[in-house]
Amino acid sequence: MEEEAGAPGSDVSADGLIAELLDMGFDFDAITAAVGAVGPRRGDVLEALLGGSGQARRGGPAPVRPGTASSTARRPRAAGKGASLSNPRGRLRQSSITDHIASGTAGRKESGREASASFPCASAPGDPRGAPVGVDFGSRVAPESAGESDQTGRISAVLQRHFGFSCLKAFQKEVLDAWFAHRDCLVLAATGSGKSLCFQIPALLTTKIVVVISPLISLMHDQCLKLAKHGVSACFLGSGQPDSRVEGKAMAGMYKIVYVCPETVLRLMEPLKKLAEKPGIALFAIDEVHCVSKWGHDFRPDYRRLSVLRENFSSSKLKFLKHDIPLMALTATATIPVREDIIKSLKMSEDTTIVLTSFFRPNLRFSVKHSRTNASSYGKDFKELIGTYNASRKFKGKEQQQQIVREIDPDSESSSYDSLNDSESDDEDAGVDYAGREDKNVGKTKIGMTLVKENVENELDLYPRVDDFDVSCGEFLECSQPESSGFPAQPNKTSSSECLDQGPTIVYVPTRKETVELANFLCKSGLRAAAYNAKMPKSHLRQVHQQFHCNDLEVVVATIAFGMGIDKSNVRRIIHYGFPQSLEAYYQEAGRAGRDGKMSDCTLYCNFFRAPSLLPNKRSEEQTKAAYRMLRDCFHYSLNTSTCRAKILVKYFGEEFGPDGCRMCDICIDGPPHMHDFKEEAIVFMNVLQGRSGDETEDMIYSSVPHYRSGVRRFGEAPNFRMVVSHIRGKLPRFAATDKMWWQGLARILESLGYIREAAETPVSQCSTLS
Ligand SMILES: Nc1ncnc2c1ncn2[C@@H]1O[C@H](COP(=O)(O)OP(=O)(O)OP(=O)(O)O)[C@@H](O)[C@H]1O
Ligand SMILES: [Mg+2]
């Protein structure tokens, strides 16, 4: 039987333990401090680390469900059965968090392969994949005949010298082994686990160039800056590249790592072939590779065309190549169908190595709350957040706080937010898209800069755009000082005040307009907040990135345009104020939190009736259906009252979680709610939906699934939800005082059980009885 974390006698070497704990998502500094304090006993170190998280939380924001989380959060999950995952080729067993906790995990075998959960700074003994396989190391490193220990030594040296890390994580080693073997590799590892290092290290082991395909300028910029700081020359190419000479220099091999957006790769095929000949291309890394798949949440058509890489850079096509140039495809959010689609679409080779780690993030605490998610609920929903930040700078003078407000909105006296309070008026507009609502305040809002009207038009950022960012500098040399490139040298040091000891918050909202509305509201409540959406001027977006990285902002209120790949260690809260587009998008965005391994909150505020109105109408039928499918998964996630949130999320990516939950989420803490019998209400609702009086309460047989609309009803269409509720409240006195939101919840439950359907969906003909 596997030993539980913290059990006596579960000691391993300090290096092995550090590697295990890194894999679990703990911060390196925290681990070494804990090992220093309590010695290299796994149980003691875990206790110290988890105790430390609890302490950190006591000093941090109030927990979502106060009072109960801290004690249970410290309990390690019992070692259950190791998670197994049906991976596309069945070659590798997925590691689970229990692997990381249980002792003796390294060396467990499955399917003929070692699923080592950890390794110190040396290859696992006897690992056949560690054998030297003719890597062309070029002039910087030893010749190909070098043994495995030399290989490990070189990696260690590079890791220490450039990144200051003492060990690779187990999965990083697996990936590098595949690269040494010239194999294509699909890397599926949790957000914040360190995927970037997998393709950055090869650039430092050879004289060849690493070409990285990445979807966003902001992401490329961020990574280039970090590389420059670590003494690695890099550049990015694409529509956002301000210096036309950089492309030529990159194709001449002057930067170790070249980031390219997918559109540009297609244009650069010929120069890349020359680069492959001299000085050579070590690998093509395709980051955020879920963008390849139509089934993924960030589908980018140009990613699909990246099959040209396998077609053109093989030894059969380019005679000077000894081996095909390996493809390394990486993502944190790919469901099983998406993985299959990726391998097929990119034409990855038959013997592609799939490196699969647990998607579980042990320090993320998930919860769901129900809300109107509009301006009328800001006051109530953000009270705690505002209190948290304001309290942390209580020693600051009142005068200074007022100045912040004046800076941000000189028109504060005319603000509509003055009227915001905790009242829960039964606003009939709640749940209706903002499109039809006039907000005179927004056009004249200032958030550190003047926003013009077109910045706040009510549109969704459907896909993050590649040119999402405006940069002044397009190349990043080893000697570049990060300051000169715009971002600070110490990105996680608080530069402006002590108020950010909690770490910042990202609030995701569905529409661009809301980014401005909510940011304005938070600014007026005394917080340092900024809006971020794709339609804002790029100079503003750049400023937000910079301030966010410098800890000058407490809250960024953003659409999906902000997030993918953002690697800031101390983000403490991710709030989704409204439904995400899919659970994949949700997990990706939530993954921005807690990258330092400390406890962080991921809260979803949902209004079941608002989501469909946010689906853009310019979609094909197929896209609309897919969007509904993804939304329905989000509904199920939020409607769930009995299964651990983390369990549902990792299951979505095909991972079995074992019998226990995370013991941190709202479900694990609060348990399932008391059951209520709402049969009478359900029958009334369905009767009215079908045009009956609603007074009959006996079981009814329906000839088809009744439909309803959440929007305005047109002639001949299914009844509008608002009318149904008005009818119930008007005609049936016992329901006169009922809340519309309550009926919305009931309707979504009925829908999830198949009793009713929203009219925009394809009708399903079936008989249902409520019994
Ligand atoms: N071997 C290691 N030891 C310690 N820290 C590491 C190691 N490898 C990577 N890290 C750190 O982990 C953090 C996250 O890395 P990275 O941005 O590559 O994550 P990611 O897996 O690409 O996440 P996402 O899916 O969100 O893009 C970085 O700050 C990096 O320095
Ligand atoms: Mg990444």
What is the reported pLDDT for 265?
A: 92
The Å distance, Cα 414 to ligand 1 centre, comes to: 46
CB 444 within 8 A of CB 411: yes
Ligand 1 atom showing the smallest separation from residue 565 Cα: 27
With 0-12 / 13-18 / 19 or more C-beta atoms within 10 angstroms meaning exposed / middle / buried, residue 138 is middle
> Which of 20, 196, 221 to probe ligand 1 with, by most ligand atoms within 8 A of CB?
196
Highest-scoring range by mean pLDDT, 87-96, 473-482, 542-551, 667-676: 542-551
The Å distance, Cα 214 to ligand 2 centre, comes to: 9
Closest residue by Cα to atom 28, ligand 1, is: 194
The Å distance, Cα 365 to ligand 2 centre, comes to: 21
Q: For the chain, percent helix, then strand, then coil, each to nearest 5?
A: 40, 10, 50
The Å distance, Cα 118 to ligand 1 centre, comes to: 16
The mean pLDDT value for 149-167 works out to 87
**Structure tokens of 67?**
């009072």
561 or 355, which is more confident: 355
Residue 2 pLDDT level (bands cut at 50, 70, 90):
very low
CB under 8 Å to 446, separation ≥6 — which residues?
Answer: 408, 409, 410, 411
What is the reported pLDDT for 404?
A: 31
CB under 8 Å to 270, separation ≥6 — which residues?
Answer: none
First-last CA distance in the chain: 45
Asked if residue 279 has a cis previous peptide bond (ω within 30° of 0), the answer is yes
Please write the tens of the pLDDT for every residue from 71-88: 223 333 322 222 223 333
What is the reported pLDDT for 121?
A: 34
Lowest mean pLDDT among 22-31, 71-80, 358-367: 71-80
CB 389 within 8 A of CB 502: yes
- The per-type count for the chain, helices as H runs and strands as E runs, is 29, 20
| Ligand 1 touching residue 155 (CB < 6 A) | no
Residue for token pair 């329901």: 735
The Å distance, Cα 194 to ligand 1 centre, comes to: 3
| Ligand 1 touching residue 193 (CB < 6 A) | yes
The Å distance, Cα 60 to ligand 1 centre, comes to: 24
The Å distance, Cα 293 to ligand 2 centre, comes to: 17
Beta bridge partners of residue 600, listed in sequence order = 364
Whole-angstrom distance, CA of residue 535 vs CA of residue 554: 22
ipTM of the complex: 0.99
Find the ligand nearest to 566 CA.
Answer: 1
> Which of 506, 595, 596, 653 to probe ligand 1 with, by most ligand atoms within 8 A of CB?
595
Closest residue by Cα to atom 9, ligand 1, is: 194
Whole-angstrom distance, CA of residue 124 vs CA of residue 116: 8
Residue 474 pLDDT level (bands cut at 50, 70, 90):
low
| Ligand 1 touching residue 15 (CB < 6 A) | no
Closest CA to 186 of 257, 83, 290, 115: 290
64 or 510, which is more confident: 510
Highest-scoring range by mean pLDDT, 67-71, 213-217, 354-358, 418-422: 354-358
DSSP-assigned letters across all residues of 126-180: T-GGGS------TTTS--TT--HHHHHHHHHHHIIIII--S---HHHHHHHHHHH
> Which of 121, 163, 589 to probe ligand 1 with, by most ligand atoms within 8 A of CB?
163
What is the reported pLDDT for 20?
A: 65
The Å distance, Cα 287 to ligand 2 centre, comes to: 7
| Ligand 1 touching residue 25 (CB < 6 A) | no
| Ligand 1 touching residue 192 (CB < 6 A) | yes
Ligand 1 atom showing the smallest separation from residue 591 Cα: 26
CA dihedral for 478, 481, 486, 490, sign (positive or negative):
positive
Closest residue by Cα to atom 26, ligand 1, is: 191
| Ligand 1 touching residue 169 (CB < 6 A) | yes
Please write the tens of the pLDDT for every residue from 313-344: 999 999 999 999 999 999 998 888 899 999 99
CB under 8 Å to 177, separation ≥6 — which residues?
Answer: 123, 127, 129, 130, 353
Collect residues with CB below 5 Å from ion ligand 2: 195, 565
The Å distance, Cα 191 to ligand 2 centre, comes to: 7
Q: Is the pLDDT of residue 677 over 60?
A: yes
| Ligand 1 touching residue 229 (CB < 6 A) | no
Report the percent of the chain where pLDDT is more than 90.
34
**Structure tokens of 578?**
């409204």
| Ligand 1 touching residue 93 (CB < 6 A) | no
What is the reported pLDDT for 465?
A: 55
Q: Which letter, b or e, does each residue of 202-224 get, where b requires 16 or more Cβ atoms within 10 Å of its Cβ?
A: bbbbbbbbbbbbbbbbbbbbbbb
Report pTM. 0.68
Lowest mean pLDDT among 313-327, 367-381, 498-512, 568-582: 498-512
